[in-house]
Amino acid sequence: MYSDKKNLLQTVALLRAHGISEVVVCPGSRNAPFAKTFADSPDFNCYAVTDERSAGFFAIGRALQTGRPAVVCCTSGSALLNLHPAVCEAYYQRIPLVVVSADRPAAWIGQMDGQTLPQPGVFGTLVKKSVNLPEIHTEEDEWFVNRLVNEALLELDHHGCGPVHINVPLSEPLFNFTTETLPEVRRMIRFDGMADSGRELKGFLASELPRFHRCMVISGQMRPDEAACLAAAIPSKCVAWLTEIIGNASGFPKAVRGFDTLLYAADEDLLQRLRPDLVITLGGHIVSKRLKQFLRHTQPLVHWHVSPDGAPADLFGCLTAVFESPADDFCRALSQVVKSEVSDYAAAWSSACAALPSPEVDYSELTAVRRVLEALPVPAVLHLANSSSVRLAELCPLPAGIEVHCNRGVNGIEGSMSTSVGYAAFSSRMNVFLVGDLSFFYDMNALWNSYVQPNLRIVVFNNGAGAIFHALPGLKIDEPINRIVTARHETSAEGWARERGFIYLRADNAHSLQDALPAFYDNQAAAPCILEIFTEAMTDAVELRNYYHHLKNWSNSSTQ
């Protein structure tokens, strides 16, 4: 019988799934659940070594002799510190050593409880990966533990071998051995672009792809050159290729955009037809929360992730394979093994998104963004701030030949204008930056330097508050928290724009906006320009909801 501790069971089951069978166990009470679970499983060869200083080196010897990773398991407290010399040796000799340390619950560390010290990260830079597992109380906890252990074990031989550390807090009671079998666990694999030949990758794709009939490829944030290479390589007739405005693929008819809106409008029958069984992610961040929620609730689903550094990104909670490869190289390999005929699944996504009505609503930020993007000169560089700007721009078509940038690494509001100023200062094209009022005022010092050039155009959407908060589901904003949550204000960019030598334009209705755009985009202007577009504080959120309501009505009528 095995321990009832779920984080322990995930760890042991994943060691088995990754083919690791050699385990050196040191004595102790906190790691006794590990000792019995390892010993009772026929999949492990266990060796008892009392002194941790010796046990770590014994495990190194076993790893050297077998050519496979070995585990050393110890109890909490100073026992773990005694493994430090062996970990150091394994690091510099590049030996795949797995340190599994039992620990006390975090609440009791530093509270004069016995055998406690801060164990997470204790080996510092001398391990390739260190993870600290939570105790499992929810399904999300279990997914998190599974992900962390997979990530640690994948690093054992990634770009050379070395040690990893898995720290496992265990609460009392410790000695409930009521589990009859180890759980079935999800194992992640990685194709290392530095080590695995193209033949092995193609063999994997050829054996696995026939299992899947609805293949979706999602390209996140990309540079224009990356998107162009991807467009040339991707088998778009066979897979549904989804991308967003920050994916820089607007000029490629193969790419499907507008899926965030479609997922809002689609009824259950259409959603069933659009559900994939394989998702392949490429590039950087994805903005659409609806797409993430849609895929996180799609079962069963297999997720493969492609990244140049081979880092796992378990965005939908079902990652099974990581490919260390440039996106276009992977897609070329994919093209060589997929069927050549047109996929009904790919066609379903393309036709459904193409049928969506345009976001034509009353004067609001949504219509203002549409008009600004329609009038963009080509070629140009479009910079998007986070929050409303990038989401509203995603609802609108974009002319081909526009390069798009957005700070989606962390998605914060700080620095988006500074980034656009830094880019425009050394660009020969017109650079247009779309930003909300809070982000603009937060980063006003971006204009306080000597590098601002006449090719910079800034559109400030001023609705007197962070209106996007009104559109958040489940958040009811009443006084007095309205002023606090939405940062309501009566500030204008005009004074700062004129003081910094900008041409200043203002629009507060559809006619004044249309009148301002020719001057705003005048490429003969001797100074940079700010166009401040005013809407009512609540208009943005209300009109956006009205547009989505219109989509629901359209969706219902189109299926009748």
Per-residue model confidence as pLDDT tens digits over 127-160: 999 999 999 999 999 999 999 999 999 999 999 9
Taking only the tens place, the pLDDT of each residue in 292-312 is 999 999 989 999 999 999 999
Residue with tokens 């030598």: 501
Using a pLDDT cut of 90, give the percent of the chain over it. Answer: 74
Higher pLDDT, 108 or 558: 108
Per-residue pLDDT at 479: 58
Of the listed ranges 81-85, 91-95, 427-431, 550-554, the least confidently predicted one is: 550-554
Q: Could you give the CA distance from residue 96 to residue 93 in angstroms, rounded to a whole number?
A: 9
Per-residue pLDDT at 6: 97
| Mean pLDDT, residues 21-42 taken together | 97
| Mean pLDDT, residues 368-381 taken together | 94
| Mean pLDDT, residues 311-316 taken together | 96
Residue 192 confidence class, pLDDT cut points 50, 70, 90:
confident
Q: What are the φ/ψ torsions at residue 508 (nearest 5 degrees)? A: -135, 15
pLDDT of 516 > 50? The answer is yes
Of the listed ranges 34-38, 239-243, 294-298, 393-397, the least confidently predicted one is: 393-397
pLDDT of 73 > 60? The answer is yes
pLDDT of 247 > 50? The answer is yes
Distances (CA, A) of 441 to 39, 324, 413, 416, 460: 62, 40, 10, 11, 10
Per-residue pLDDT at 209: 93
Q: What is the pTM of this model?
A: 0.90
| Mean pLDDT, residues 203-211 taken together | 92
| Composition of the chain by helix, strand, coil, percent to 5 | 40, 15, 40
Of the listed ranges 91-100, 158-167, 458-467, the least confidently predicted one is: 458-467
Higher pLDDT, 531 or 107: 531
Task: Decide: helix, strand or coil at residue 504.
Answer: strand
Residue 534 confidence class, pLDDT cut points 50, 70, 90:
very high
Residue 273 confidence class, pLDDT cut points 50, 70, 90:
very high
pLDDT of 359 > 70? The answer is no
Q: What are the φ/ψ torsions at residue 311 (nearest 5 degrees)? A: -75, 135
pLDDT of 59 > 60? The answer is yes
Instruction: Specify whether the CB–CB gap between 506 and 532 falls below 8 A.
Output: yes
| Sheet hosting strand 430-436, strand order edge to edge | 402-406, 380-384, 430-436, 456-462, 529-534, 503-507
Per-residue pLDDT at 559: 47
| Mean pLDDT, residues 362-370 taken together | 85
Per-residue pLDDT at 412: 82
Residue with tokens 């095995």: 2
Higher pLDDT, 195 or 371: 371
Q: Cα angle at 386 between 384 and 388, to 5 degrees?
A: 95
Among candidates 289, 320, 323, which has minimal Cα distance to 303? 320
pLDDT of 541 > 50? The answer is no
Taking only the tens place, the pLDDT of each residue in 406-423 is 999 888 888 899 999 999
Among candidates 145, 437, 165, which has minimal Cα distance to 317? 145
- Find residue 349's DSSP bridge partners: none
Task: Decide: helix, strand or coil at residue 342.
Answer: coil
SS3 sequence, 224-259?
Answer: HHHHHHHHHHCCCCCCEEEECHHHCCCCCCCCECCH
